[in-house]
Amino acid sequence: MQQPEVNAMAEARCDYAATVYHTRMPGHAHAAPVSLPARPLLPAAKRIVVKVGTSLLTGNTTHVDRRFLLKLCAAVAELWAQKREVAIVTSGAIGAGCGMLGYAKRPVTLSERQACASAGQVELMKLYAQAFRRMRPPRAVGQLLLTRDCLTSRDRYLNARNTLVTLFKRGAVPIVNENDTVSIEELRFGDNDMLSALLAGAAGADLLVILTDVPGLMDADPRVNPHARLVPAVEAITPQLEAAARPTGSFLGTGGMASKLQAARIAVTSGFGMVLVGGHDPGVLLDVVAGREVGTYFHPRADRISARKHWLAFAQRPKGLIVVDAGARDALVKRHKSLLPSGVLNAHGTYEAGALVSVVCENREFARGLTNFSAQDINRIRGKRTAQAEKELGELLFEEVVHRDNLVIL
């Protein structure tokens, strides 16, 4: 092992041991001990997914920052030593491959980026495997390269879940990445944020931590407003917050914040928490699981949805819309009823029975579910009572447009 790497590992271990008992403050290596966690649910997290982006792993260069990767692996190894199961969703394959294939900067064409991902993924996994072998105790790693199809298909989704659970049982660290050599999904949605949230749900994780190059969610653009402050917690992802995160909106649309809010929406709806935190020092992971107030904590809903409903709501793309009235929305949300034809105003799109659809009221999606009718038939029976709907179609196999067992409230 080269001397700089030995020094980095020794430095990492000292730092991480100290952060178990202390909170870091700006301008100070360590501050006074903290007696009680500010976020009491987080210390109980036993299964955690950690997502790390390209900018942290490469420092915006064409090579992997080995000192950073060693510190990240040391922090994850410390979490395993605390009897927690941790998976890493990693970006950086394209960045790593650029240097290996002689590119001075990120290439433009898709084929070149995919070639860089192909070469870089080999290097990235080699570095992760070497780093975890050097930990005490050493740990094996397992690689999962996924495409969206792997999670859309129910069978493949369950296979990915079973692989993760088996790796956890064997004490191995799953290293997960988008399969960029055959997929452009990450290139469009960026930074594996969506993948990490879907994976956390599939794995039955208690917590998702996204390490980023900003302190967390800010209340203003810090590049414009020097008085911008960190938002320590988000109780609900509001339409205003989502609008600000769109690329055509405010500062949140830059730096991938929109995709991070999408990931947060999946997490909180599924029933596990998410922390968005600055990750230049990966030791912050220990602060997160200690329940200290670092980064931005997105509070989960009180009841966790099943793995099947998580897959139903988020792993697939809706085929169309069902627009309902306020009364139907209240019946679904407040009284946990099924959606009946009488509450339907309209159906948009072209889809058949069994398709996943968005359920919308007043121009806002609030649920997703599997429809028992085609869009054409829904428009024939919309607003009708059961007897009228049966008369219209001649035969009514289902009374419900969407049964509550196949419905997820968002």
pLDDT digits (tens, 9 = 90+) for 243-302: 666 554 444 433 478 889 989 999 999 999 999 999 999 999 999 999 999 999 999 988
At the top level of CATH, the class of 39-308 is alpha beta
* pLDDT of 222 over the 80 cut: no
> What gap in Å lies between CA 391 and CA 321, rounded to an integer?
24
Place 221 in a pLDDT band, splitting at 50, 70 and 90: confident
What is the pLDDT averaged over residues 227-255?
68
Lowest-pLDDT range, 32-36, 149-153, 286-290?
32-36
* pLDDT of 184 over the 70 cut: no
What is the pLDDT averaged over residues 24-37?
42
Q: What is the pLDDT of residue 240?
A: 76
* pLDDT of 33 over the 50 cut: no
More confident residue, 291 or 236: 291
More confident residue, 273 or 241: 273
| Angle at alpha carbon of residue 266, lines to 158 and 350, rounded to 5° | 80
What CA–CA distances, in Å, run from 361 to 23, 145, 355?
A: 45, 37, 19
Beta bridge mates, 276: 210, 296
Q: Which two tokens stand for residue 406?
A: 């196949």
Q: What is the pLDDT of residue 137?
A: 94
Place 13 in a pLDDT band, splitting at 50, 70 and 90: very low
Q: Are 21 and 80 in contact (CB under 8 A)?
A: no
This prediction has a pTM of 0.81
* pLDDT of 12 over the 50 cut: no
**What pLDDT digit, counting tens, does each position of 68-125 carry?**
999 999 999 999 999 999 999 998 888 888 888 888 888 888 888 889 888 888 999 9
> What gap in Å lies between CA 322 and CA 324, rounded to an integer?
6
> What gap in Å lies between CA 68 and CA 193, rounded to an integer?
20
> What gap in Å lies between CA 287 and CA 331, rounded to an integer?
42
Task: Count the alpha carbons within 13 Å of 234 in the hemisphere toward its beta carbon.
Answer: 28
Q: What is the pLDDT of residue 189?
A: 41
Q: What is the pLDDT of residue 169?
A: 96
Q: What is the pLDDT of residue 345?
A: 96
Q: Do domains 39-308 and 317-409 have the same CATH topology?
A: no
Beta sheet of 173-178, edge-to-edge order: 141-146, 173-178, 85-90, 47-52, 207-212, 273-278, 296-298, 233-234
What are the residue ranges of helices labelled H in 153-232?
154-169, 185-189, 193-203
Is 74 exposed, middle or buried (CB count within 10 Å of its CB: 0-12, 13-18, 19+)? buried
* pLDDT of 183 over the 80 cut: no
Query: Which contiguous run of DSSP H or E holds residue 346?
Result: strand 344-348
Q: Which two tokens stand for residue 395?
A: 């035969």
- The domain spans of the chain are 39-308, 317-409
> What gap in Å lies between CA 198 and CA 267, rounded to an integer?
8
Q: What is the pLDDT of residue 15?
A: 39
Q: What kind of fold does domain 317-409 have according to CATH?
A: 2.30.130
Closest CA to 173 of 5, 11, 49, 8: 49
**What pLDDT digit, counting tens, does each position of 43-73 carry?**
999 999 999 988 899 887 788 899 999 999 9
Per-position b or e across 80-92, b if 16+ CB within 10 A of its CB? beeebbbbbbbbb
